[in-house]
């Protein structure tokens, strides 16, 4: 267990993305790596027990064992429920169009 692996912890805010490269012991878990990264000291609003996180975009558990070059992503809660937004638009009679422009 003396071997070390390189991982990254990423936390994105609306205006910036923070990347924390960390050298951790082989066998380190996702939660341990987040704690070691220092992201929780810089962003105390992150509540690790209730947060969601993943490795390369795939939702993962806090006890997941990391591999060399894994990228841990901390996910922020959604501001609005996408289903509710669609429901409200439908009630207002607005059609959702792909492409963002009006035709």
Using the predicted structure, report yes or no on whether residue 73 has a pLDDT greater than 90: yes
Mean pLDDT of 55-82: 87
Domain definitions of the chain by residue range: 4-82
- For residue range 18-31, what is the model confidence (pLDDT) as tens digits? 899 999 999 999 99
pLDDT given at position 4: 94
Report the pLDDT value the prediction gives residue 91, as an integer from 0 to 100: 77
- Per cent of the chain over pLDDT 70 is 83
φ/ψ (deg, to 5) at 80: -135, 145
* C-alpha distances out from residue 88 to 78, 80, 83, Å: 17, 12, 9
Q: How does strand 4-12 pair with strand 71-75?
A: parallel
Q: Which whole-number Å values give the CA distances from 80 to 28, 86, 98, in the listed order?
A: 34, 11, 20
Q: Which class in CATH covers the domain with range 4-82?
A: alpha beta
pTM above 0.75, yes or no: no
Average pLDDT over residues 26-50: 90
Residue 87 has pLDDT above 80, yes or no: no
**pLDDT surpassing 90 at residue 47:** no
């Amino acid at each position: 267990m003396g071997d070390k692996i390189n991982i990254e912890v990423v936390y994105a805010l609306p205006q910036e993305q923070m990347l924390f490269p960390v050298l951790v012991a082989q066998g380190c878990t996702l939660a341990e790596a987040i704690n070691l990264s220092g992201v929780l000291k810089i962003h105390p609003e992150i509540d690790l027990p209730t947060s969601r996180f993943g490795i390369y975009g795939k939702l993962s558990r806090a006890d997941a064992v990391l591999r060399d070059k894994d990228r841990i992503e901390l996910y922020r809660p959604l501001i609005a429920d996408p289903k509710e937004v669609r429901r409200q638009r439908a009630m207002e009679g607005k059609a959702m169009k792909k492409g963002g422009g009006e035709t």
